[in-house]
């Protein structure tokens, strides 16, 4: 850790850097496996049996979750000391946990790739406490236990920092979100024999994460960056933050019911799930208003324009992906036909990218120049490349969403709407959708190029740090 980095308020914030770097490395892996799957959608036996689709998907989704967790942790290690106005309780613990989590994560991914899944289950003693083989929670039980240990150490570290320091709304909301994340993850250990019950509590992890406590984390990261880049009064920003997260939880908790329509849960959820989840776009709309308002009322011109673009971009894209695309199929009478179709996939992609991938990149864009000792912002050329990366990735993801939505509409038309006998089979329907899947693959390649631009923007070789240039 450099003690001489003048761009950090507290030296211990530097532990955020490895978290951000590793998050972006995993992001690259996620996209590579996404491309493999995109090709398997049209060339079904591509890489078979070396990397069957289920393995590629597991790697794709698990890498997403893990890189976002690294991003959240990095954000917390950067943000909490600054908000608490004191050094992190234990930078050493933060670095130790980084290595524990990174090594456990890599081993798990290697396990997916090198061992047949049933073998991995045997190897890790899944039968003793079966938790594997459920979507997104495919990790061996021992990995899940490792995640809990890392989360506890992490919460202890930032919790102690917070207890001893200044308590702001931003840091308290972040802390609440992170504690919620850890608490709801515990439901991944509960795997009842009754599938209906299993699915019901599975959503306590998945929905109460992404449509619940993760929104608290996102809101606090957004509020933090907006204070820094706009200079708007903290009172105003924190009031907005409370309004946004109030809306998120008031709509989102009962909104869980939109996942309970068709899994064996009682009929009351058809109404409650529809009504409350129909209001779930509200917090995302409020975030858009929030970001634009604060940037318009800015009291300073921050040199990091790329970070401002990410901050506004994440709210707009999250509103489109989570809000609009979520609303499209959230009402029970619509969802009856769209549930588990390509419409679901379309929504999932834009929502995760817009809300969570982009908020982490917002934070990285703001914090990384300081962490690297460059200054408040990278130079103009680096920012231009970063902005190219922003637009290429974002527009490609919008394109992926549109192509998958078109595929989904046709799928519903052919496979879901007709009566028994007239409806087309799943496999035949997929053949009809090939053109959309090819276009989606092209958009995926463009996304990968955008990611390349984004990563290339970190290259600063031969250019002087801003501070040094001033004194020269």
Partner 1 sequence: MSETFTKGMARNIYFGGSVFFFLVFLALTYHSEQTFPERSNEAAITESVVRGKLVWEQNNCIGCHTLLGEGAYFAPELGNVYVRRGGEAGFKPYLHAWLKAQPLGVPGRRAMPQFNLSEDEVNDLADFLKWTSQINTNDWPPNKEG
Within residues 387-406, the interface with partner 1 by CB under 8 A covers none
Q: Which is nearer to partner 1, 43 or 402 (CB)?
A: 43
Q: Is 446 in the site for partner 1 (CB under 8 A)?
A: no
Which of 10-18, 182-190, 221-229, 231-239 is the region at the interface with partner 1 (rule: CB under 8 A)? Answer: 231-239
Stretch that binds partner 1, among 76-84, 102-110, 262-270, 450-458 (CB under 8 A): 262-270
CA atoms of 47 and 68, how far apart (whole Å): 27
Contact 227, 369 (CB under 8 A): no
Q: Quick check: 433 binds partner 1 (CB under 8 A)?
A: no
Which residues, numbered 100-139, are part of the site for partner 1 (CB under 8 A)? 117-118, 121-122, 126-127, 130, 132-135, 138
Residues 196-215 that bind partner 1 (CB under 8 A): 196-200
Q: Do 71 and 19 contact (CB within 8 A), yes or no? A: yes
417 binds partner 1 (CB under 8 A): yes
272 touching partner 1, by CB under 8 A: yes
Q: Alpha-carbon distance 283 to 213, whole Å?
A: 13
The pair of structure tokens assigned to 362 is 């917002």
Determine if 373 is a binding residue for partner 1 (CB under 8 A).
no
Tell whether residue 426 is a contact of partner 1 (CB under 8 A). Answer: yes
* Residue 432 touching partner 1 (CB under 8 A): no
Stretch that binds partner 1, among 159-167, 320-328, 341-349, 464-472 (CB under 8 A): 341-349
CB of 258 to partner 1, least distance (A): 12
Q: Does 235 bind partner 1 (CB under 8 A)?
A: yes
Rounding to the nearest 10 degrees, give the CA dihedral for residues 126, 129, 134, 136. Answer: -90
- Residues 154-167: b if buried by 16+ CB within 10 A, e if exposed: bbebbbebbeebee
Measure Cα distances from 333 to 99, 261, 275, 411 in Å. Answer: 48, 10, 12, 17
Instruction: For residue 175, state whether it binds partner 1 (rule: CB under 8 A).
Output: no
CA 304 – CA 11 distance, rounded (Å):
21
Does residue 296 belong to the site contacting partner 1 (CB under 8 A)?
A: no
162 binds partner 1 (CB under 8 A): no
Q: Could you count the other beta carbons within 10 Å of the beta carbon of residue 116?
A: 12
Q: Whole-number minimum distance, CB 284 to partner 1, in Å?
A: 16
Q: Tokens representing 118?
A: 């049933």
Phi, psi of 49 (to 5 degrees): -95, 15
Contact indicator for 222, 287 with CB cutoff of 8 Å: yes
Residue 368 as a binder of partner 1 (CB under 8 A): the answer is: no
Residues 22-61 binding partner 1 (CB under 8 A) are: 37, 40-41, 43-45, 48-49, 52-55, 57-58
Residue 400, CB-side half-sphere exposure with 13 Å CA sphere: 30
Under the criterion CB under 8 A, does residue 262 sit at the interface with partner 1?
yes
- Least distance CB 189 / partner 1 (angstroms): 14
Minimum distance from residue 289 beta carbon to partner 1 (Å): 10
Question: Residue 292 CA to chain centroid, in angstroms?
Answer: 22
- Contact pick of 337, 388, 413, 438 for partner 1 (by CB under 8 A): 337
Compute the C-alpha angle 72/74/80, nearest 5°: 90
Shortest spacing between CB 101 and partner 1, in angstroms = 23
Which of 123, 152, 195, 435 is in the footprint of partner 1 by CB under 8 A?
Answer: 195
The residue (of 173 and 307) whose beta carbon lies closer to partner 1 is 173
What's the rounded Cα separation, in Å, for the pair 440 and 448?
12
């Amino acid at each position: 850790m450099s003690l001489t980095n003048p761009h950090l308020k507290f030296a211990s914030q530097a532990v955020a850097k490895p978290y951000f770097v590793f998050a972006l490395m995993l992001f690259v892996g996620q996209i590579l496996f996404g491309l493999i799957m995109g090709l398997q959608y049209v060339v079904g036996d591509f890489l078979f049996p070396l990397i069957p689709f289920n393995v590629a998907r597991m790697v794709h989704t698990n890498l997403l979750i893990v890189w976002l967790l690294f991003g959240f942790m990095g954000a917390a290690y950067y943000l909490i000391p600054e908000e608490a106005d004191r050094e992190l309780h234990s930078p050493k613990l933060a670095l130790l946990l980084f290595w524990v989590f990174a090594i456990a994560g890599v081993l798990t991914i290697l396990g997916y790739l090198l061992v047949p899944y049933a073998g991995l289950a045997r190897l890790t003693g899944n039968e003793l406490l079966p938790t594997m083989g459920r979507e997104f929670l495919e990790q061996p039980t021992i990995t899940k236990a490792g995640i809990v240990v890392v989360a506890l150490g992490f919460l202890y570290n930032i919790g102690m920092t917070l207890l001893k320091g200044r308590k702001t709304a931003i840091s308290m909301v972040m802390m609440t979100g992170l504690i919620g994340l850890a608490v709801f993850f515990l439901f991944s250990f509960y795997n009842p024999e009754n599938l209906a019950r299993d699915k019901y509590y599975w959503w306590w992890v998945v929905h109460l994460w992404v449509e619940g406590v993760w929104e608290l984390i996102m809101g606090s990261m957004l509020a933090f960056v907006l204070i820094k880049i706009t200079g708007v009064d903290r009172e105003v920003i924190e009031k907005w933050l409370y309004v946004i997260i109030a809306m998120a939880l008031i709509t989102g908790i009962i909104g869980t019911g939109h996942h309970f329509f068709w899994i064996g849960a009682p009929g009351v959820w058809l109404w409650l799930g529809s009504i409350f989840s129909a209001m779930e776009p509200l917090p995302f709309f409020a975030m858009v208003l929030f970001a634009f308002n604060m940037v318009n009322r800015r009291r300073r011109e921050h040199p990091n324009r790329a970070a401002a673009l990410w901050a506004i971009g994440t709210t707009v894209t999250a509103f489109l992906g989570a809000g609009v695309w979520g609303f499209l199929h959230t009402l029970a009478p619509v969802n009856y036909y769209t549930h588990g179709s390509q419409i679901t996939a379309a929504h999932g992609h834009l929502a995760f990218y817009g809300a969570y991938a982009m908020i982490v990149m917002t934070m990285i864009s703001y914090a990384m120049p300081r962490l690297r000792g460059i200054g408040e912002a990278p130079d103009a050329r680096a920012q231009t490349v970063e902005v190219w990366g922003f637009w290429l990735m974002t527009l490609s993801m919008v394109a992926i969403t549109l192509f998958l939505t078109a595929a989904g509409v046709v799928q519903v038309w052919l496979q879901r709407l007709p009566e028994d006998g007239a409806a087309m089979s799943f496999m035949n329907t997929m053949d009809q959708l090939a053109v959309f899947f090819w276009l989606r693959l092209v958009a995926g390649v463009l996304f990968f190029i955008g990611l390349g631009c984004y990563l290339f923007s970190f290259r600063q070789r031969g250019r002087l740090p801003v501070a040094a240039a001033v004194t020269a």
